Structure 1
């Protein structure tokens, strides 16, 4: 496993396991067991996923069985949009309790707007500010080793960078060949913010694109591996999700091959600003 050094000196694995829509203790246990066996050491969840408690319990059982301790893994969770603002500190502490941890390695603001408000609600910027102040407090107390944001646009990120005491270390966004947000990537690189991609496989649709399959055939790899490697070679972290042991392994075996410049260009031609998830650009 290769890692990146975040702007606070913390090491974050470049590949993590996403857990969106992985529900039920038995499923979570078997998924984490397979991932730990493959070598995964980073796990991404969120309050809105509804699986924090099951993940915490599964890790308590699995880590010693794999000869690991809490310090050997990198655990991420996120603030639910409903808890933006005054409830942010309470919500973060609830996630810590649910995951049965003394600290989280990374905690993100999941969305730039508050649930129940319109996207253009003028109260959103102040709500974001309150949430970040709460995260800064818990970061300084050691409960959150690293803090960052998810689904922020460049504008949201500039706003935060202009007013924070603790700089965000990570921005997690949708990023894949059909949504190559290069301007945002360049801004993050200049600002010292690590970009981490979700929906790298286009909700499973990109693996069937003929352009992706053609590159995969040249490399002798799976389409999913090609898509994930495309991001890694740009310095972007990835958190692919699967509950199938063979796919969990495939998604982890990304460091023993490289895409050629020509193959990267072939994938770049797919860029059409297509989103498979939500669009934060309209959030005030």
Structure 2
């Protein structure tokens, strides 16, 4: 992968890889080590974790051991983590510093508020907006100190993004949300474009359901590629970074092949026409 074709420039001026390894449900050090080793060998330079994944310490340890093996330094990798919903609000500083400690890093490349709500509060609780604002102010402080090189959010709605843009001192660099042909998030993408925020995808395969969709299978046949590669390529061909997760070295390597082909305009349109607003993951739209 060449940096010119496989990264996107954030509003901080930093280049973020278009392809990263998602680590949700990747647990036990030996599994994390094997996945990171395979990813680095395949050209991945970005890794996405979160406090709630409970694998920050294993990821940090694996990277420290494996970067020298692959001839890399800390500056060569882009590490993302996220503030857990239990730390939303007044515990945000504690939560963010704990992520830094677990990862055993001097800085995190990108740190996100994982969820617009607060653990223990119902989605309609009027304290949620205040907690989000308090968390963001904390992230801004850590960003100013250089401990968080870029800050952003995950699972925010268009309204929540607009509220943040009106009140923030430092604009979010990234919004990470569920994104695939059945959930094209047109309004959210428009908001991100308006404010210069990088729109990043997770769950590109729809929790695995979309790899057997007839249209996806037909496009994959046309491209002579796997359905997983087609779903990931559909996003990156639009400039949207992706975070496929796998513990299988062969699949990790296969997912890196998305920069070796392109999808025709007509097939891109066919995939996008699948949009029906369907979510395979959690729905943040009811969080006030």
Tell me the TM-score normalised to structure 2 length. Answer: 0.98
Counterpart of 2:181? Answer: 177
Q: Does 1:193 align with 2:205?
A: no
1:240 pairs, out of 226, 244, 260, with: 244
Partner of 1:157: 161
How far apart, CA to CA, are the structure 1 residues paired with 2:242 and 2:174?
Answer: 12
Counterpart-to-counterpart distance in 2, 1:214 and 1:118:
43
Query: How far did residue 202 of structure 1 move?
Result: 0.5
Which range moved further: 229-238 or 33-42? 229-238
CA distance in 1, matches of 2:130, 2:53: 25
Q: Corresponding residue for 2:217?
A: 213
Distance in 2 (CA, whole Å) between partners of 1:190 and 1:159 is 14
Q: What per-residue deviation string (whole Å, max 9, x for no partner) do you get for residues 145-182 of structure 1?
A: 00000000010000000000000000000000011111
Consecutive unaligned residues of structure 1, counting only runs of 5 or more, are: none
Matches within 5 A, 1:51-66: 51-66=55-70
2:42 paired residue number: 38
Cα distance in 1 between the residues matched to 2:7 and 2:286? 33
**1:102 corresponds to which of 101, 106, 111:** 106
Q: 2-side partners of 1:90 and 1:118: how far apart?
A: 23
Deviations 1:182-226 (A, max 9, x none): 121111111100010000000001000111010000000110011
Which TM-score applies when normalising by structure 1?
0.99
Match of 2:284 in 1: 280
Structure-2 separation of matches of 1:232 and 1:92: 29
SS of the aligned residue for 1:148 comes to strand
**Superposed displacement of residue 269, structure 1:** 2.2
1:90 is matched with which residue?
94
Q: What's 1:144 paired with?
A: 148
Bigger Cα displacement from structure 2, 57-66 vs 135-144? 57-66
Which residue pairs with 1:254 in the alignment? 258
In structure 1, the residue matched to 2:122 is 118
1:80 corresponding residue in structure 2:
84
- Give the aligned length: 284
Structure 2: any 5+ residue segments left out of the alignment? none
Tell me the C-alpha RMSD between the 2 structures: 0.7
